A and B are shown apart, each in its own frame.
Chain A
Amino acid sequence: MLDRFRFVPLRLLQSIPVIFGVTVVVFFMVHLLPGNPALAILGQTATPARVASLSHQLGLDKPLWDQYLLFLGHLVQGNLGTSITYQRPVSELVLQAVPITMSLLLFALVLALVISVPLAAVAASAPGRARDLAVRAFTLVGQGMPQFWVGIMLILLLAVKAKAFPVGGYGESALEHWYYLFLPALTLAIAMCPTIIRSLRASTINVLGSDYVGTARSKGAAGVALFRLHVVRNAAIPTVSIIGVNLGYLVGGSLVIERVFAVPGLGSLMINAIFARDFPTIQAVALVVALFVIVVGILTDVVYTAIDPRVDLGSRELA
């Protein structure tokens, strides 16, 4: 049983060159941006001499290669550099923002599952009937709405009109955090739901028509027992990988949504850093996001392996 998970350490090793590649791409892409952080800090009225002296102070006048090697050298020591805008270690800024964004993503995932699983079950229980059509119409509408627009509509309806939720921010206490994160999480969940519902509906219909569910029925299984023992796990298998892929996209979506709801997570940090040409911070956030996507990929495979005994990723990769 356990040796089906022996692919995990190998995967972690494989992710090192990936991360290295990400640093290269991010570093050089960022430096292709027009504008100079020194100029951004000093403002449009600064004299060229002052810009040049600040550039020198920040090490921006060195050749790009030297800058990259310096960055890499610091990275290996766990030093992400100092934020140009905030004049604080980038690692501090990132460590502050990561838990916020992770909570948001986790919250969104839970909400998405809470919405999707019952809807998919309702639709799959009567394909082609009214409730199925209703669920499918919902997924179509959900897929057609841009995320940021959904966020703004939720703010208008639930925060401004109904005053049930705050317009934005993150709150003070742990309880408040969840309360403040509800609307942004719901926005992300609504974006994720259509894909999950469609996949889960299709796989549930498939499983319900399968021979082994016939076998289960011939043993007298029905209703909840039938679903729990024979349907849920089998129907979840294709959906798990779809959720894994979507979580990657979700990070991208969360960057925008954090902005809409003024949540001080990685998204807000990233966008501010881009406008300020705060290179070390941009690089650090991009690195964290890449790391997150890699970890989600590995986790997806772990979950996949755990629920489907036929999967043995190790045998393929180690062969």
Chain B
Amino acid sequence: MSVEGGSAPLSVQDLTIGLRRPGGRSVAIVEDVSFDVDPGQRLGIVGESGSGKSLTLRAVAGLLPRGVEVLSGRVEFGGRDLLTMPAKDRRALMGPEIAMIFQEPMTALNPVMRVGDQIAEGPRRHLGLSAKEARELAVSMMARTGIPDPARRAKAYPHELSGGLRQRIMIAMAVSCGPRLLLCDEPTTALDVTVQLQVLKLLEKLCDDTGASLVFVTHDLAVVNQTCSELAVMYAGHIVEAGGVKDTFRQPRHPYTRALLESAPDFDHPERELIPIPGFAPNVADRPSGCPFAPRCGYVRDHCTEAVPPLEEVIPGRLAACFESDRLVEVLA
């Protein structure tokens, strides 16, 4: 992940998402989020529920829920701002350029449409294929995602398939038009752990094969470690730390990242005690003044509650939004 823009397929700049209230007052849920995703790069966005990670992803895909909108900022894809381009042009990108995989494979598939037809829908619309060609492509896509007996399964309805198969259908659907950017919203959360790994491996393989970039939203640190090369940690609508996955996990520079790592089990060190993060994430409507993590932070000093720490480069290749970032290293050492 690089800070400066450029040839990146995806460049998000100062994105603020929120609810616009009557009377001009608006409540920001995600504030000033910026990141770039280079070709072939895999970015994991982690955070607790309500941190704004999914909304950020949905804003990129243009799928914000009713009532929630982008208040300011830019989402550039291949140099064009997705937010200002005509809706028709944007829809033309959805599928062939950008594709999305959702969390719940049960509810994310149309229950009254055969899965093969659901996969074929995108290629028919975007690649100009005939119904027969699109159906054949759907079956070959299903074969590629490792679905056994794809020709027969293509005629199945979603409820007739297992969770793992349904998620493979979602993936086949997402990659059917050969997108350059794949957006994944917790694609493995609803799956069994054994199936999770298969699906992650499949996603990796497809990205390797096609050179597609990946943005992966999850709360599961192990999944990010497995799949992604870059990491952005979100807390209360802000990116609080960003950098390479391995580096950041080895030496977090934001107390929240560190707290997240300490609260998650580590199977390499099963004897390590898990430390929960005290308190709750702040309500977006009344954020504490200063650093939003200050009330739950173990390194808090007086000045933390006075000003919001900016997201700055603390060491080469690492951004953190913490006044006490350097102290974190001293304490660890």
**What is the interface of chain A, defined by CB distance below 8 A to chain B?**
127, 209-212, 214-222, 225, 229-230, 233-234, 237, 307-310
Contact = CB atoms under 8 A, between A and B. Distances in A.
A230 B108 CA distance: 12
A308 B63 contact: no
B121 A229 contact: yes
Contacts of A233: 112
Given A218-B100, A230-B110, A209 B65 contact: yes
B54 to A, nearest CB: 11
27 contacts: A127-B66, A209-B65, A211-B102, A211-B107, A212-B107, A212-B108, A212-B109, A214-B102, A215-B102, A215-B108, A216-B121, A217-B63, A218-B63, A218-B99, A218-B100, A219-B95, A219-B99, A220-B126, A221-B91, A221-B121, A225-B125, A229-B113, A230-B113, A234-B111, A308-B111, A310-B157, A310-B159
B231 interface: no
Contacts, number: 79
Given A217-B62, A221-B125, A309 B159 contact: yes
Contact of B61 (A127, A216, A218, A310): A218
Contacts of B110: 212, 215-216, 229-230, 234
B31 to A, nearest CB: 24
B139 interface: no
Given A219-B94, A220-B95, A234-B112, 20 more contacts: A209-B66, A211-B102, A211-B108, A212-B107, A212-B111, A214-B102, A215-B100, A215-B109, A217-B62, A217-B63, A218-B174, A220-B94, A221-B121, A221-B125, A230-B113, A237-B112, A307-B112, A309-B111, A309-B112, A310-B159
Nearest to B117: A229
Most A C-beta atoms less than 10 A away, residue of B61, B65, B91: B91
B92 interface: yes
Interface in B165-206: 170, 173-174
A214 B113 contact: no
Interface residues of B, number: 32
B187 to A, nearest CB: 12
Contacts of A229: 110, 113, 121
A215 B173 contact: yes
Contacts of A222: 87, 91
B94 A218 contact: yes
In the A-B complex, the 5 residue pairs with the closest CB atoms: A218-B100, A211-B107, A220-B94, A219-B122, A211-B108
Contacts of B121: 216, 219, 221, 229
A214 B113 CA distance: 15
Nearest to A219: B122
A219 B92 CA distance: 9
B69 interface: no
A214 B64 CA distance: 9
Interface string B83-106: 000010001111100011010100
B240 to A, nearest CB: 28
Interface in B95-146: 95, 99-100, 102, 104, 107-113, 118, 121-122, 125-126
B88 to A, nearest CB: 8
A212 B66 CA distance: 15
A210 B111 CA distance: 11
Contacts of B93: 220
Nearest to B122: A219
A310 B111 contact: yes
A214 B159 contact: no
Contacts of B157: 309-310
Interface in B6-47: none
Contacts of A310: 111-112, 157, 159
Contacts of B61: 218
B124 to A, nearest CB: 10
Given A221-B125, A222-B87, A222-B91, A211 B113 contact: no
Contacts of B107: 210-212
A222 B126 CA distance: 13
Most B C-beta atoms less than 10 A away, residue of A212, A214, A218, A222: A218
Contacts of B62: 217
Contacts of A215: 100, 102, 108-110, 118, 170, 173
A221 B94 CA distance: 9
A216 B174 CA distance: 11
Most A C-beta atoms less than 10 A away, residue of B65, B110, B173, B174: B110
Nearest to B119: A219
Nearest to A207: B110
